Amino acid sequence: MLRFLLARLSGLILILLLVCVCTFAVFFVLSPDPAVQICGKNCTPELIDQIRANLGLDEPLLSQFLSFVGGLFAGRTYGAGDAATHCAAPCLGYSFQSSQPVWEMVTERLPVTVTVAIGAAVLWLLAGVVGGLISALKQGTWWDRGAMLVALSGLSIPNYVFALVLQYVLVVQLEWLPFPQAVGFAADPWQWFANYLMPWTVLAFAYASVYARLTRANVIDTLAENYVRTARAKGLPSHLVVRRHALRPALTPITTIFGMDFAGLLGGALITESVFGLNGVGKLTADAISSNDQPVIMGVTLLAAFFVVAGNVVVDLTYTALDPRVRVKSV
Amino acid sequence: MATVQSQPEMTEGGPPPLAQGTPERRILRSLAADRGAALGASYILLIVLMAALAPLLVKVSGWGPYEFDQSAVDPDMAGAPLGAWGGAGLDHWFGVEPGSGRDIFARIVYGARVSMLIAISATALTTLLGVVFGLLAGFHGGKVDWAISRVMDLLMGFPALIFMIAILSAIPAGNRAVMLVVVISLFGWPYLARVVRGQTISLAQREFVEAARASGAGGAAIVFKEILPNLRSTIIVLATLAIPGYIGTEAGLSFLGVGVNPPTPSWGQMIASSVSWYSVVPTYFAIPGAFLFLLVLSFTVLGDRLRAVLEPGGAP
């Protein structure tokens, strides 16, 4: 078990390093000179040179990369002499736009993103797994067909379109929900809840559709297994057959994709957050893209990659706990 | 000889059931009999025709995608379209864009070109890459397999959407459509390659491959004549199911402002510019939204049904 864990962790670090290299390559090699961008309109060549020196852009690419990675783990110092600023680890550099440390910007926004992800996850797990299970047990009925049709729509509607439809119907036409406003939970719990309700629904609809289809298919498959027939034959009540024999193996693959999906969402629900004006990591990414704020884009990309890769490891560990067959293989 | 076994799983339990007519005929017939698949296919055909005949359609409707019609919008109302339903009527069939007064029908028709062209090119490129690398990894095994598998792990471990946006926003403007296709395919091929690799590994151990090898066939001949034909149905299904994903990705990237450059119309971009108008002119987001939704839905249904026909017993 320990060896398995160590192997996974070293894999995690390797992939993160590769992501670092790729992000670095994209932003510092391919894209236009950031110094020119920061400098703005009233720019002189001397000023550009100074900015480049401050940011360390005048050094060779390899040493730039090494100081970037070094900054991640040990912090780094920009500039020299009186103008020097120290950026503590984990240092992701400073935003070109607001000059704030990227790490601070990201951690400030993370709670919103986590709230979005958790609320949506609760909704989609409930709707997806329960809906899929009922569909599987009532295979071929009107419920099943209706639920699968809804799931198909959920797969096909782009989330920004659904977001606009929802906002138009619930807020503008029916006036059931107030217009989104930035408030803290303590200030106005109802407004706070209403702000999150639509993003949760929009995200959950898409994921729940996938989960419902998967759960339905898996449960139908396991119900056809011999051991389920045996359980029925020995007279076990139907609900126990479903709960003890059919559901558990059917849900194992669901845990896998759930881990991946949830980890992916922690990197920011880009579109949903922007459409609903929620100040999370996703909105930060979208804003950084439109203002071409490379350090921020780089920071959020790394963060998202970290969550995805870490989610992968967590999924593998849970899998070993849930499915004894994997445990045997890994030893 | 190997093409007969289009369903590898089924040959274990005896010969495959005798089908009437050629396999293609049989598949087409069972798809046509399925209401969902038939409806989906008709809608896709409609959009393809619309995209192909765009210049002609625009001539009939009277307004091009880049023509401004200031007489259709109300300057006193910040450029809101005149008339109900976003200014829809005989003059502008789907109404006009608020502000500029550009004809929405023309932009939908031309947007269909962008959407279909990018999604289909990306699917073609993804399929090519996926099949080539999947075959290489599965057939050669060893170091080749190890290297390709690690690259696939890496690409699939990436937060693909964020990375696509990052790349597209970092690279200075060029031919956006080509770049979209390249970037989408770059992150898309591992999903196909993984399946192709797995099936190649199991096919390579089958008796008919062994027989071909024993009768002196070389590596290339085995791959192209024995293994590839058996992967045909898997590839068709995966490609069909990839198209709706890529349509959505293109629209999403255009929605976020890193897709095709304006003024080239794209459905995702139209929806993005409708966001600030959604409460006043709901048709502005509803029309491109509905076209996009139905196109993705049609491809998904068609792919689902194709899978049911081609791979009975496969995943849902």
Domain count, chain B: 1
Average pLDDT rounded to a whole number, residues A141-149: 89
CA-to-CA separations, A159 to A104, A144, A171, A263, A264, in angstroms, rounded: 29, 24, 17, 18, 16
Residue ranges of the alpha helices (H) in chain A? 2-24, 34-39, 45-55, 61-74, 102-125, 131-137, 142-156, 159-166, 189-223, 226-233, 238-240, 247-266, 270-275, 281-290, 294-322, 324-330
Whole-number Å distance between alpha carbons of A230 and A215: 22
- B85 in contact with A, Cβ within 8 Å: no
Whole-number Å distance between alpha carbons of B71 and B63: 13
Chain B residues within 8 A of A171 when measuring between CB atoms:
279
CA-to-CA separations, B241 to B258, B297, B299, in angstroms, rounded: 24, 11, 7
Contact across the interface for A161 and B271, Cβ inside 8 Å: yes
Confidence of residue B5 (pLDDT cuts 50, 70, 90): very low
Establish if B33 belongs to a structural domain: no
Establish if B208 belongs to a structural domain: yes
pLDDT surpasses 90 at B204: no
Domain positions in chain A: 34-91, 102-330
Dihedral sign of CA atoms B198, B308, A204, A211 in order: negative
Residue B266: which residues within 8 A CB-CB, separation 6 or more?
A: B111, B114, B115, B250, B251, B254, B259, B260
Looking at B2-11, B132-141, B255-264, B274-283, which range is the least confident one? B2-11
Average pLDDT rounded to a whole number, residues A158-176: 84
Establish if B21 belongs to a structural domain: no
- What's the pLDDT tens digit per position in A1-43? 677 778 777 877 887 788 778 777 777 666 666 666 666 666 7
- Reference B113, options B299, B291, B256; nearest CA is B291
- Helix or strand run (H / E) with residue B52: helix B35-52
- Out of B158, B275, B292, name the one closest to residue A19 (CB): B158
- B285 in contact with A, Cβ within 8 Å: yes
As given in the structure block, the two tokens for residue A156 are 């096909």
pLDDT of the residue at A80: 59
- B313 in contact with A, Cβ within 8 Å: no
pLDDT of the residue at B121: 94
- A15 in contact with B, Cβ within 8 Å: yes
Q: What is the least distance, in Å, from the CA of B208 to any CA of chain A?
A: 30
Higher pLDDT, B236 or A63: B236
- Reference B267, options B119, B124, B89; nearest CA is B119
pLDDT of the residue at B162: 78
pLDDT of the residue at B131: 93
- B182 in contact with A, Cβ within 8 Å: no
- Out of B159, B278, B297, name the one closest to residue A168 (CB): B278
CA-to-CA separations, B25 to B30, B94, B151, B307, in angstroms, rounded: 9, 39, 39, 16
In the chain, the amino acid numbered A39 is: C
Looking at B171-175, B245-249, B258-262, which range is the least confident one? B171-175
- What's the pLDDT tens digit per position in A94-107? 787 777 888 888 88
- What's the pLDDT tens digit per position in A41-56? 667 777 777 777 776 6
- A213 in contact with B, Cβ within 8 Å: yes
Q: What proportion of chain A, given as a percentage, has pLDDT over 90?
A: 10
pLDDT surpasses 80 at A129: yes
Establish if B117 belongs to a structural domain: yes
Domain at B90, CATH number: 1.10.3720.10
Confidence of residue B126 (pLDDT cuts 50, 70, 90): very high
Phi/psi class of residue A95: alpha, beta or left (left: φ > 0; alpha: ψ in -120 to 50)?
beta
pLDDT surpasses 70 at A211: yes
> Which residues form the domain of B214?
57-310
CATH number of A102-330: 1.10.3720.10
Establish if B11 belongs to a structural domain: no
Average pLDDT rounded to a whole number, residues B230-236: 87
